[in-house]
Structure 1
Amino acid sequence: MIKKPKASMLSRVTATLALVATACFTVADEGGSGALTPSHGIAMHGELKYPEGFSHFDYVNPEAPKGGELKLSVVANGFDSFNPFVIRGISAVGVNAYVYDSLLDASADEPFSEYGLIAETVEVPDDRSFVVFNLNKDARFQDGAPITAEDVEFSYRILTTEGHPFYRNYYADVEKVTIENSHRIRFDFAQTNNRELALILGQMPVLPKHFWADRDFSSSGLTTPVGSGPYRIDSYDAGRSVTYERVDDYWAADLGVRKGRYNFDKISYEYYNDDTVALEAFKAGNFDFRLETSAKNWATAYTGRQFETGSIEKKAIEHQRPTGMQGFIFNTRRAAFKDPKVREALAYGFDFQWANQNLFFGQYTRTRSFFENSELASTGLPEGRELDILEPFRDQLAPAVFNKAYTPPDTGEGASLRDNLRTALQLLTEAGYKIENGKMVHQETGKPLSFEILLFQKTFERVVLPFRNNLAKLGIDVSVRLVDSNQYIQRVRNFDFDVISQVLPQSDSPGNEQRDYWHSSNAGEAGSRNAIGVNSPVVDELIDLVIQAPDREELVYRVRALDRVLLNGHYVVPHWHLRKDRVAYWSHLKRPDTTPKNGIDLNNWWIER
């Protein structure tokens, strides 16, 4: 899940957790939300694409046959939990996606629109100061119990008090929750200009209150959950595999948001410790589908009789979704990375052009924005409305925000690695460092500049080692540590790292989730997505402005301003992106003729033999 910002800042930020903790829960005998017209859906900005009573999304095959088993692989060190909503444990892949339904369901061919699922209709006033969800009276949990407003209230309360810290931030502006009757619930908001909040509440998974009544929600474990989604857990081998089975009497099967989707009778995941082994298992027919993330594999490994005969299809399918930011992420809580000049200097040691040519077969494009591949990305110098947004913060920002277009260091068009390292040396000198006895040390403390890059994928060493070697020419000691995926997750959750390689995904409609990425209130919150430790009053204010954006045009300007400030904070060394999904699949898998802007979705595929 990913979303939008607003208001005047630090006072509101300080109150974030307090708002959640003191949110008022009430129960009314009758509805009392005023004369609002219920709608079958809600759009962030503009009009809905799909009309009331629509039969299916345009990018699915409504006649897709049901049946068969989809076999998939996961490269990770297993799982120990079926609870994806808490910070403890490692949840099995697929639990949230398949077992639990949400109030509303998003379309994949609009910037941000949602349509009725558990909530049959939704009501919002023009100022979006509250939202009312009218629940579908046919909605059922998998044990047959009806879904009621009490379950929705319970879900909100348990997620924001005992769930992952993400939920407290995501729903921070909810001020009051009122159960108006058994199938009608209202959420009132502290900030009336948080237009996105109604939609992100629509994304909330609905949990069965009766199931958790005598269970500890905050603990992880392998208790088989009860949800309301299209699949339930069929079987599992702890840490090694999990299989989901389609619910035959799934209550929402014929709704427009579900027709033509979730077509497999079973979906199974097998866990592998090594990606090379997983690739060979795929080619041997042990599982059906593979999304390839390695350029080298894509260029060299997908060969053989299965590909020549068409038994396995290999396709690069274009998409139009934002690619977000992948890069080396600095933990600014570490003393070595507190100075942005040091962070900027280190970026000059990464030679993307060399890596793209020698490691990636020229497949990638350099990333230059946290909102890459979208109209939200900043470019050139700020002007017009974007400049107006940034102007009040001029005294708090680096001059480069206003007078220098951000470009990550490269070795193209006349620049060489030697030139880049010379620039890095100049920046480090300005930051108070010098080379002494072949080592980069701080002039005052004498402490050497050294750090560790933490990895969990051995294949990524081929990217990291040249970066390390380039920085060694400046007397900087970089060590590389490879750990298993579970240890990696726990260390990142607790900010126990110097540098990691990470993907920071973005949607086409950024909003409340930006707090979790960049807000100062999350810099010390274990488990938050603010792995960098961004702690900037300006960034805080810009996040609020993004959440408050009144329309799409203003949203674009505000996100560009936020992007520009983040880029000039030099929090990451940008990597690369690809505007295609590289997929390979056995030919009995079939997919719809239309691919939505967000790219492929296996939940729309089916099996034909």
Structure 2
Amino acid sequence: MSSFWRRMTCTVILVGAVAGAYGGAARPETGATGATTGVSVPVAAVWSHAFAIYGTPKYPAGFAHYDYVNPDAPKRGTLRLGNPDRRTSFTRLNPFLLKGSGAYATALFSFEALCDPSQDEPDVMYGLVAEAIQVSPDLSWVAFRINPRAHFNDGDPVTAADVKYSFDTLTSDKASPSVAVSLAMARRAVVVNPRTVRFELAVHSREAIYTLGTSLFVFSPKWGMGADGTTKPFDRIIDDLPVATGPYLVEKTYSGRRIDLVRDPNYWARDEGVRRGFYNFDRIVYRYYADNAVQFEAFKAGDIDIFWETNLKRWGRQFRGAKFGPGRIIVKALPTGQGTYLRALRFNLRRPIFQDIRVREALQLSFDFEWLNAQNFNLFARVNSAFSNSEFAATGLPTPGELAILEPYRDRLPTAVFGPPYENPRTDTGPTALRDNLKRARDLLTQAGWRPDADGVLRNAHGDTFSFELLNTDADILGSIEPWLVNLAKLGIKAAIRQVDFALFRKRLETFDFDITQINDGEFLMPSASLLKTIYGSDQADREGASNFGGIRDPALDAAMRAMQDATTLTQMLDAAHAFDRVMMQSRYVIPWSRRPAFNAGWWDHFGVPARPPRYFTLTSDTNNANPWPILNWWYEPRDSQLGIKP
């Protein structure tokens, strides 16, 4: 990624379909008048097949297919998968609600956004349900022209009114607050004519336009409609089969533990350039398992075709034997090009004990990452930035552009923000490194007013004990967390682990009912200010159901996120991201954990694989516009020795 970004120009452009810009491209249209509403789109903006936040889109108008697919891949066979995240069951097919647990399969395969994020370029989108994009010169609005071939799985064509209905529904109080926040950059949707919808933007930025285009999923007003023509309130649409544009239909569900999908033979986009070489399996089956250990056994038994191993001990010890090798299970670490947001133990700053930065630093000092990594074959890479593995991680001293963002808040920021970037405390620098860290932690706790009593229990001036609970739902990390509790006990801190299932875990997160928990914010192609605002924005700290789980209220972070959103050059974006990184890390809002330098993958040897992977991808679940390449673009390819094995 580094060399790529150094080659990027800092010019912000919209690639219009101007005659001659791409070979054979038509002359641009400039505006449209609404036959339905009489609303007109102002002139002086051109229509484009693609939109780039920075730089020039790689693929021209009318391109045949992405480079990371096989456009002639055969369509056949069944793909069998396990639950791709912490959810061990699902309670609804509607992925846009707050209550209950949605089926991941419908989120990925039933619904499509207006535009498709390229996996070869950071933050470039190409028209999908919308065939073209039009942006006002002042970024105050964006219009989308609907692809005339786009239709729902009931055969109805997609109209601008359907897009407006989807937007209005997803930003209403009937949808999950996190969904509404992701679309908050738009004030309202206006139907211009049957095929054109315009969004008036609350945030005038290119990043907001990209986020809107890739985050607004389109569905029919008939979804949830009864035989009498009455549509249920959106939050009552639970297990109704989605009426949307996606490539797969829900064939059957099994009490929240299994969902079967079948490829829609009438899928509208199968010959579009953005979809040629996609969705090559006739059927996809998701089975939900209680934990990853059970899922791994199901994988070895042949009940699952692809397995993403996140437990490094298991990866180092158990991916060997008679079932592994050519013709059986292929084992490979697939390098990832994405940058990494924070994966960390997150403090709930609503709890008074975590509001003192000295306490948070003391807890960081007590965490022995190097021991943890040694127990996992040293396969972890430590997270030391809010934007690890990218040029958006702060380096050196703050630049003048960074200081312009930070200086107004100097008096309330840690002095370290204005120095070198954050570095994690280490325990492998000498034989007494951990002991020295614990001594430093003890001193910080004393300065913060916490002292051991006669029994060695840490108490404040009011006699309150220093105790907290770590909320966890990931059984694979229990062994990594428990030694930390031993170090905490040496400091007089009473800490316990509360292991819960995913449903309760999510409920407690949504109501901020936890002390500390592990959160993984995923990967990125380019840092998204819109996403970061949902996770760290001060205005989200008290909104139940939102994603600011840590309860962070930091004006300097808010200013950095605004600067990221308003950036018009890559240099401005880098300055804003670096400023955010310095404040986030030096404020000690989290205990950094780890990132993966590669996807540790195993798959049964009956797949065809395109000649090259995309620059950005995931393995079995999507994250922040990086898509699961094996699920979307591989195909079933039985080997001669496997002709008798069920497809």
596, 606, 609: which one pairs with 2:635?
Answer: 606
Q: Report the residue type matching 1:93 in the other structure.
A: Y
- Matched residue SS, 2:222: helix
Aligned to 1:121: 132
Deviation at 1:306, TM superposition (A): 1.9
Q: Report the residue type matching 2:563 in the other structure.
A: L
Aligned to 2:352: 335
The yes-or-no answer on 1:471 pairing with 2:488 is: yes
Tell me, yes or no, if the aligned pair for 2:458 and 2:491 is still in contact at 8 Å.
Answer: no
Tell me, yes or no, if the aligned pair for 2:372 and 2:480 is still in contact at 8 Å.
Answer: yes
Q: Report the residue type matching 1:450 in the other structure.
A: S
572, 578, 582: which one pairs with 1:564?
Answer: 582
Tell me, yes or no, if the aligned pair for 1:241 and 1:268 is still in contact at 8 Å.
Answer: yes
Following the alignment from structure 1 to structure 2, what is the Cα–Cα distance between the partners of residues 198 and 383? 28
- Regions of 4+ moved over 4 Å: none
Name the structure, 1 or 2, with higher relative contact order (CA <8 Å, separation 6+). 1
The yes-or-no answer on 1:591 pairing with 2:609 is: yes
The yes-or-no answer on 1:181 pairing with 2:173 is: no
TM-score (norm 2): 0.88
Following the alignment from structure 1 to structure 2, what is the Cα–Cα distance between the partners of residues 585 and 384? 49
25, 33, 40: which one pairs with 2:42?
Answer: 33
524, 540, 557: which one pairs with 2:558?
Answer: 540
Unaligned runs of 5+ in 1: 1-24
Residues 220 and 154 (structure 1 numbering): CA distance in 2 closer, same or farther, change over 3 Å? closer
Deviation at 1:580, TM superposition (A): 0.6
- Matched residue SS, 1:242: strand
Residues 26 and 518 (structure 1 numbering): CA distance in 2 closer, same or farther, change over 3 Å? farther
The yes-or-no answer on 1:376 pairing with 2:392 is: yes
Q: How many residues align?
A: 583
Tell me, yes or no, if the aligned pair for 2:71 and 2:276 is still in contact at 8 Å.
Answer: yes
Residues 449 and 380 (structure 1 numbering): CA distance in 2 closer, same or farther, change over 3 Å? farther
Q: Report the residue type matching 2:148 in the other structure.
A: K
Following the alignment from structure 2 to structure 1, what is the Cα–Cα distance between the partners of residues 489 and 279? 51
493, 504, 507: which one pairs with 2:521?
Answer: 504
47, 64, 85: which one pairs with 2:96?
Answer: 85
Deviation at 1:239, TM superposition (A): 1.4
- Matched residue SS, 2:339: coil
Aligned to 2:164: 153
Tell me, yes or no, if the aligned pair for 1:26 and 1:177 is still in contact at 8 Å.
Answer: no
Following the alignment from structure 1 to structure 2, what is the Cα–Cα distance between the partners of residues 32 and 389? 36
Following the alignment from structure 1 to structure 2, what is the Cα–Cα distance between the partners of residues 400 and 438? 36
Deviation at 1:538, TM superposition (A): 1.7
Aligned to 1:408: 424
Following the alignment from structure 1 to structure 2, what is the Cα–Cα distance between the partners of residues 100 and 73? 20
Following the alignment from structure 1 to structure 2, what is the Cα–Cα distance between the partners of residues 81 and 499? 28
Deviation at 1:156, TM superposition (A): 0.7
Select between 480-489 and 166-175 the one with higher mean Cα deviation: 166-175
Following the alignment from structure 2 to structure 1, what is the Cα–Cα distance between the partners of residues 516 and 176? 24
Select between 545-554 and 148-157 the one with higher mean Cα deviation: 545-554
Following the alignment from structure 1 to structure 2, what is the Cα–Cα distance between the partners of residues 329 and 568? 14
Following the alignment from structure 1 to structure 2, what is the Cα–Cα distance between the partners of residues 88 and 27? 37
Following the alignment from structure 2 to structure 1, what is the Cα–Cα distance between the partners of residues 237 and 491? 46
Following the alignment from structure 2 to structure 1, what is the Cα–Cα distance between the partners of residues 439 and 397? 26
Following the alignment from structure 2 to structure 1, what is the Cα–Cα distance between the partners of residues 200 and 35? 11
- Matched residue SS, 1:314: strand
1:124-159 per-residue CA deviation (whole Å, 9 max, x = no partner) reads 123221111010111100001111011100111110
Q: Report the residue type matching 2:553 in the other structure.
A: N
Select between 172-181 and 116-125 the one with higher mean Cα deviation: 172-181
Deviation at 1:404, TM superposition (A): 4.8
363, 370, 379: which one pairs with 1:346?
Answer: 363
Aligned to 1:19: none
Unaligned runs of 5+ in 2: 1-33, 226-230, 619-628, 639-647
Following the alignment from structure 2 to structure 1, what is the Cα–Cα distance between the partners of residues 319 and 71? 32
Following the alignment from structure 2 to structure 1, what is the Cα–Cα distance between the partners of residues 203 and 388? 29
Following the alignment from structure 1 to structure 2, what is the Cα–Cα distance between the partners of residues 408 and 308? 39
TM-score (norm 1): 0.93
Following the alignment from structure 1 to structure 2, what is the Cα–Cα distance between the partners of residues 371 and 394? 22
Aligned to 1:102: 113
Aligned to 1:22: none
Q: Report the residue type matching 1:292 in the other structure.
A: E
Following the alignment from structure 2 to structure 1, what is the Cα–Cα distance between the partners of residues 320 and 117? 37
1:275-333 per-residue CA deviation (whole Å, 9 max, x = no partner) reads 22211111111110001101011111111212145411000011110122111111111
Aligned to 2:341: 324
1:97-150 per-residue CA deviation (whole Å, 9 max, x = no partner) reads 100111110101101010011101111123221111010111100001111011
RMSD value over aligned CA atoms? 1.7
Alignment of 1:438-453 (within 5 A): 438-453=455-470
Aligned to 1:14: none
Deviation at 1:582, TM superposition (A): 0.7
Tell me, yes or no, if the aligned pair for 2:224 and 2:240 is still in contact at 8 Å.
Answer: no
Tell me, yes or no, if the aligned pair for 1:42 and 1:114 is still in contact at 8 Å.
Answer: yes
Q: Report the residue type matching 1:202 in the other structure.
A: G
Aligned to 2:73: 64
The yes-or-no answer on 1:171 pairing with 2:196 is: no
133, 141, 157: which one pairs with 2:152?
Answer: 141
1:546-579 per-residue CA deviation (whole Å, 9 max, x = no partner) reads 1111122211110111011011121111111121
223, 226, 229: which one pairs with 1:211?
Answer: 223
Deviation at 1:505, TM superposition (A): 2.0
Deviation at 1:175, TM superposition (A): 2.7
Aligned to 2:52: 43
Following the alignment from structure 1 to structure 2, what is the Cα–Cα distance between the partners of residues 495 and 186? 37
Alignment of 1:271-282 (within 5 A): 271-282=288-299
The yes-or-no answer on 1:531 pairing with 2:549 is: yes
Q: Report the residue type matching 2:67 in the other structure.
A: D
Select between 40-49 and 159-168 the one with higher mean Cα deviation: 159-168
Aligned to 1:195: 206
- Matched residue SS, 2:235: coil
Tell me, yes or no, if the aligned pair for 1:88 and 1:219 is still in contact at 8 Å.
Answer: no
Following the alignment from structure 2 to structure 1, what is the Cα–Cα distance between the partners of residues 484 and 271? 53
- Matched residue SS, 2:59: coil
Aligned to 2:316: 299
Deviation at 1:506, TM superposition (A): 4.1
Q: Percent identity?
A: 36
Tell me, yes or no, if the aligned pair for 1:581 and 1:599 is still in contact at 8 Å.
Answer: no
Residues 411 and 444 (structure 1 numbering): CA distance in 2 closer, same or farther, change over 3 Å? same
Aligned to 2:412: 396
- Matched residue SS, 1:306: coil
Following the alignment from structure 1 to structure 2, what is the Cα–Cα distance between the partners of residues 26 and 452? 60
Following the alignment from structure 1 to structure 2, what is the Cα–Cα distance between the partners of residues 90 and 548? 35
Deviation at 1:223, TM superposition (A): 1.8
Aligned to 2:18: none
Following the alignment from structure 2 to structure 1, what is the Cα–Cα distance between the partners of residues 572 and 175? 33
1:42-82 per-residue CA deviation (whole Å, 9 max, x = no partner) reads 11112111100001111111111111110001164311101
Aligned to 1:554: 572
The yes-or-no answer on 1:240 pairing with 2:251 is: no
1:239-279 per-residue CA deviation (whole Å, 9 max, x = no partner) reads 11001111111111011110001111111100111322211
Deviation at 1:442, TM superposition (A): 3.9
1:427-473 per-residue CA deviation (whole Å, 9 max, x = no partner) reads 11111111112344344211111000111122321011100001100
- Matched residue SS, 1:581: strand
- Matched residue SS, 1:452: strand
